[in-house]
Amino acid sequence: MKSSKRMKIAPLLISIVSVGCAGTGGESVLGTVDSGLANVGRTAETGRAVIEAGKTAATGLPASQASLTNVLVGQLGVSQQQALGGAGAIFQAAKAKMAPQAFTTLSQSIPGMSGMLAAAPQVSQPLSGATSMLGGVSGTVDTMTSLASSFQQLNLSPNMVNQFIPVVVDYVRNTGGQLTANLLQSALTAP
């Protein structure tokens, strides 16, 4: 019996509260809340724009390109230039192993790819005779030797190559999808 009285009272209370709010400027309260939320949204958008502009100004790079270098800087503690050159070296090594169409797909998923490639140190190809004894793994050894040489020119330890690659592949996965990340990964590990 008590529950049926509560069920009848609840709609009545809702009606009284609704009428009371409407009669005391409830609509203006909702309007004020909507206006406040709109202001918060505009402020957030302005804040995002300022942050992105700051990234561009601080690095001299477009914000979309800076995001990969910022990830590398944040996760690995390297400088912006080392991050840019290291990522470029990884993409150069992949380009040498990928079909042109596959590299085009990769390039299109990475904002600022040309800038990264340009920042990569130029290295000579490793001696093929030294790695030919290794058979099928010589391609991977050549790639890693070339990357280690590039990283040394960036004043990075050669073992940083193994720290950069997973970060770069993960970034590619986030920007270009799993298939593009797989293309990059297989290019870096292909014999």
Closest-CA residue to 85 (of 57, 122, 125, 124): 122
CATH fold group of domain 63-189: Globin-like (1.10.490)
Cβ–Cβ < 8 Å for 162, 84: no
Q: Where are the domains of the chain?
A: 2-59, 63-189
pLDDT per residue, tens digit, the chain (191 aa), is 555 555 555 454 444 444 444 445 556 656 665 555 555 455 445 444 444 444 444 445 444 444 788 899 999 999 999 999 999 999 999 999 999 999 999 999 898 888 999 999 987 654 444 444 444 445 567 888 889 999 999 999 999 999 999 999 999 999 999 999 999 999 998 77
Q: How far apart are CA 159 and CA 151, in angstroms?
A: 9
Q: Rounded to two decimals, what is the model's pTM?
A: 0.60
